Structure 1
Amino acid sequence: MDHAQATTTLEAVLAANPRDDGAWSMLGHLLRRAGKLDGAIACHRRGLEVAPENASIWSNLGNALVDAGRFDEALAAHAEALRLEPHSPAFLFNNAVALRKSGRFKETLAMIGRATAGGGATPELRWERALARLQIGDYVHGFADYEARRGLASYHGRPPSERTWNGGPLDGRTLFLFTEQGFGDAILAARYMPLVRERGGRVLYECHPELRRVLSGLGVDSVLQPGSPPPAFDVEASQMSLPGLFGTTLASVPPPVTLTIPDSSREKAAHRLGAREPGTLRVGIVWSGRVTFADNGRRATSLARFLRFAEVPGVRLYSLQKGPPEAELADSGVAGHLVTPLGPDLDDFADTAAMLEQLDLVIMTDSSVAHLAGSLGKPVWNLVQHVPYWIYGFSGDCTPWYPTMRLFRQGPDQDWEPVFARAADALREEVRRRAGQ
């Protein structure tokens, strides 16, 4: 039964019996899956009117409230579910997720400890523990748990095998390094290639076509298309397992990878950007990552917020945005006037890197371009959500992964407005600083 049929059936059930608490909660579950969170929350609350002691509805309500970013209410709902059924593995897990997403990492770890007391941790619990530990900088234990991702039902990478590499000497053996997750993750992990080569083996490197040119200087023996059957190899590892295999700590993060920018890309960038206007600051902007990324709705925002930077005297904006959100530029009426669209000229990440070389600063919400700019050593101001990608930690304005990156963080209210206000003030100060040089 598809979503529409299930919804129609439940509506019929509720028309016949408006006091069917299970139907209310199931309808809320379907609405949550469809992203209709206000309706989902209302349905769960209607179910609780009928059955206030139903712990499952309380937990479902908490899940919907988490998705809506209403964390205090979510945690209260999950607490009620656990009051009613304190030993339920599902309710303990849901509470742990809510705590982590609200930024309460110490409580998250305590809740996971409660869930695992007297038994082994499931892959789902280990994954939540990994994210909490990595966020607070406990890389030693965090990367050990990070491998649990390959046991998740949602994991779409290569399954674990008996030939998994342990990070030791290769002694001439062939290592297959496969990719997983997104473009930014591949750029992040590429910094480990010098350490891999030191292990003395042959390397088969799986690489997205969009990254092939910009990562062509890694010194690997063969570059493979993702998803294609690899040639014979002896051991294998995910690129995203490399930080753990090399025992990375906050104090031992390797420097970013050296990128390769072909002359053809540099010529394209020089032609597109033209001569520099004296006394101006060229600022690249990106307001969204890939829309297929599950958490993109939290980390992304709209072009409209970035237009305040065009109000700063001496600033010229250049859009590096790609994908469906690029349409916002055409719809805004400012393309070519207040914002120069570079997206149509970007065929791959090598082209983007060449454009970044010609810019003075990049201001963006988190996406793969942040990893690219950080790897180039360009000043990049990353405007990040309340609980961002784990490499950004949870406090402070810098990250050891990209020394030229400055972080502007949302508060617990998840409001973008003060983030952009601080960035606009900082941009005015940057213009004044450069003018005084």
Structure 2
Amino acid sequence: MDHAQATTSLEALLAASPRDGAAWSMLGHLLRRAGKLDGAIACHRRGLEVAPENASIWSNLGNALVEAGRSDEALAAHAEALRLEPQAPAFLFNSAVALRKAGRFKDTLAMIERAAADGTATPELRWERALARLQIGDYVHGFTDYEARRGLAAYHGRPPSERAWNGGSLDGRTLYLFTEQGFGDAILAARYVPLVRERGGRVLYDCHPELRRVLSGLGVDAVLQPGDPPPAFDVEASQMSLPGLFGTTLASVPPPVSLTVPDSSRAKAAHRLGAREPGTLRVGIVWSGRVTFADNGRRATSLARFLRFAEVPGVRLYSLQKGPPEAELADSGVAGHLVTPLGPDLEDFADTAAMLEQLDLVIMTDSSVAHLAGSLGKPVWNLVQHVPYWIYGFSGDRTPWYPTMRLFRQGPDQDWEPVFARAVDALREEVRRTTGR
């Protein structure tokens, strides 16, 4: 039964039995899956009116509140579910997720320990523990748990193999490095490829077509298309397992990979951007990552917020946005006037890198371009959600993964307004510093 049919069936059931608490909660679950969080929350609360002792409804309500960014209410709902059923594995897991997304990492780890009191932890619990540990900088234990991702139902990469590489000497053997996750993760992990080559073997390297030119200087023995059957190899490893295999700590993060920017891309960028206007700052902007990424709704925002930067005297904005959110430029009426759209000129990440070289600063919400700019050594201001990608930690305005990146963080209320206010003030100061305005 598809979503529409299931919704219709539940609506008919509730019309006949409006005091069916479980049916109200199931409708709320369907609405949550459809992204209709306000309706989902209301349905769960209606279910609780008639079934206040139903722990499942409390837990479902908590899940919807987490997605709506209402952390305090979410944690209270999950606490009530656990008061009613203290040992229910699903409720313990849901509570751990809510605690992590609220930034309460010590409590997250305690909840996971409670859920794994029998001495075993499911892949789902280990994955949550990995995210919490990595966020607080416990890389030693975090990367061990990080491998649990390959046991998740949602994992779509290569399954675990008996030929897994342990990070030791290759002694002439052939290593297949396969990709997973997104473009940004591939750029992040590429810094380890030179270290892999030092292990003395042949390297077969999965690389997205969009990244082939910009990562063409890695010196691997063969570049493969992700998803295609690889030629014969001896051992294999995911690129995202490399930080753990090399024993990375906060003090030993390797420098970003050296990128290749072809002359043809540089010529295109120079022609597109033209001569520099004296006394101005060229600022690139990106307001959304891939819309298919599950957490993009939390990390992304709208073009409208970025137009505040155009109000700063001396600032000229250039959009590096790609994908469906790029349409916001046309809808805004500012394309070509307040914002120069570069997206149509970007055929791959090498083209984007060439454009970045011509810019003075990039201000953006987190996506693959942040990794690209950071790898180029460009100043990049990354406006990040309350609990961001783990490489950004949970406090401070710097990350060891990208020395030229400055972080502007949301607070617990997950409100973008103060983040942009701080960034505008910082931009005014940057213009004064660099142009004397």
TM-score normalised per structure 2: 0.99
TM-fit CA distance, 1:166: 0.4
State the match for 2:253 in structure 1.
Answer: 253
Q: Distance in 2 between matches of 1:167 and 1:415?
A: 42
Q: Distance in 2 between matches of 1:118 and 1:289?
A: 40
Q: How does 1:6-405 map to 2 (within 5 A)?
A: 6-405=6-405
Q: Distance in 1 between matches of 2:308 and 2:118?
A: 55
Q: Distance in 2 between matches of 1:324 and 1:318?
A: 17
Between stretches 18-27 and 214-223, larger displacement belongs to 18-27
TM-fit CA distance, 1:276: 0.4
SS in 1 for 2:356: helix
TM-fit CA distance, 1:146: 0.1
TM-fit CA distance, 1:284: 0.3
Q: Distance in 2 between matches of 1:169 and 1:385?
A: 39
Q: Which runs of 5+ in 2 are unaligned?
A: none
Cα shift readout 1:280-334 (whole Å, capped 9, x = no counterpart): 1000000000000000000000000000101111110000000000000011110
Q: Distance in 1 between matches of 2:435 and 2:155?
A: 50
Cα shift readout 1:133-155 (whole Å, capped 9, x = no counterpart): 00000000000000000000000
SS in 1 for 2:378: coil
Q: For this pair of structures, how many residues does the alignment match?
A: 437
TM-fit CA distance, 1:119: 3.2
Q: Distance in 2 between matches of 1:33 and 1:337?
A: 39
Quick check: 2:288–2:365 contact (8 Å CA) kept in 1? yes
SS in 1 for 2:203: strand
TM-fit CA distance, 1:21: 1.0
TM-fit CA distance, 1:22: 1.1
Q: Distance in 1 between matches of 2:235 and 2:228?
A: 17
SS in 1 for 2:237: strand
TM-fit CA distance, 1:428: 0.4
Q: Distance in 1 between matches of 2:333 and 2:18?
A: 49
Q: Distance in 2 between matches of 1:28 and 1:337?
A: 44
Q: Distance in 1 between matches of 2:359 and 2:173?
A: 43
Q: Distance in 1 between matches of 2:388 and 2:13?
A: 41
SS in 2 for 1:160: coil
Q: Distance in 2 between matches of 1:211 and 1:81?
A: 46
Q: Distance in 2 between matches of 1:51 and 1:341?
A: 54
Quick check: 2:280–2:435 contact (8 Å CA) kept in 1? no
Between stretches 19-28 and 238-247, larger displacement belongs to 19-28
Q: Distance in 2 between matches of 1:117 and 1:368?
A: 38
Q: Distance in 1 between matches of 2:433 and 2:7?
A: 59
Q: Distance in 2 between matches of 1:40 and 1:119?
A: 35
Q: Distance in 2 between matches of 1:420 and 1:110?
A: 34
TM-fit CA distance, 1:194: 1.1
Quick check: 2:178–2:238 contact (8 Å CA) kept in 1? yes
Q: Distance in 1 between matches of 2:434 and 2:41?
A: 50
Between stretches 32-41 and 173-182, larger displacement belongs to 32-41
Q: Distance in 2 between matches of 1:336 and 1:211?
A: 28
Cα shift readout 1:167-199 (whole Å, capped 9, x = no counterpart): 000000000000000000000000001110010
Q: Distance in 2 between matches of 1:103 and 1:393?
A: 11
Between stretches 111-120 and 265-274, larger displacement belongs to 111-120
Q: Distance in 2 between matches of 1:290 and 1:263?
A: 28
Q: Distance in 2 between matches of 1:412 and 1:22?
A: 31
Between stretches 354-363 and 5-14, larger displacement belongs to 5-14
Between stretches 12-21 and 134-143, larger displacement belongs to 12-21
Q: Distance in 1 between matches of 2:434 and 2:53?
A: 63
Q: Distance in 2 between matches of 1:406 and 1:35?
A: 31
SS in 2 for 1:79: helix
Cα shift readout 1:383-428 (whole Å, capped 9, x = no counterpart): 0000000000000000000000000000001110110000000000
Quick check: 2:136–2:393 contact (8 Å CA) kept in 1? yes
SS in 2 for 1:364: strand
TM-fit CA distance, 1:435: 2.5
TM-fit CA distance, 1:436: 4.2
Q: Distance in 2 between matches of 1:435 and 1:285?
A: 20
Q: Distance in 2 between matches of 1:244 and 1:211?
A: 23
Q: Distance in 1 between matches of 2:343 and 2:190?
A: 24
SS in 1 for 2:248: coil
Quick check: 2:109–2:132 contact (8 Å CA) kept in 1? yes
Q: Distance in 1 between matches of 2:38 and 2:279?
A: 49
Q: Distance in 1 between matches of 2:137 and 2:63?
A: 26
Q: Distance in 2 between matches of 1:21 and 1:411?
A: 35
Residue identity (%): 92
Q: Distance in 2 between matches of 1:435 and 1:240?
A: 41
SS in 2 for 1:374: helix
SS in 1 for 2:347: coil
TM-fit CA distance, 1:118: 1.6
Cα shift readout 1:67-114 (whole Å, capped 9, x = no counterpart): 111110000000000000000010000000000001000000000000
Q: Distance in 1 between matches of 2:24 and 2:250?
A: 47
Q: Distance in 2 between matches of 1:283 and 1:66?
A: 34
Cα shift readout 1:235-287 (whole Å, capped 9, x = no counterpart): 00000000000000000000000000000000000000000001110000000
TM-score normalised per structure 1: 0.99
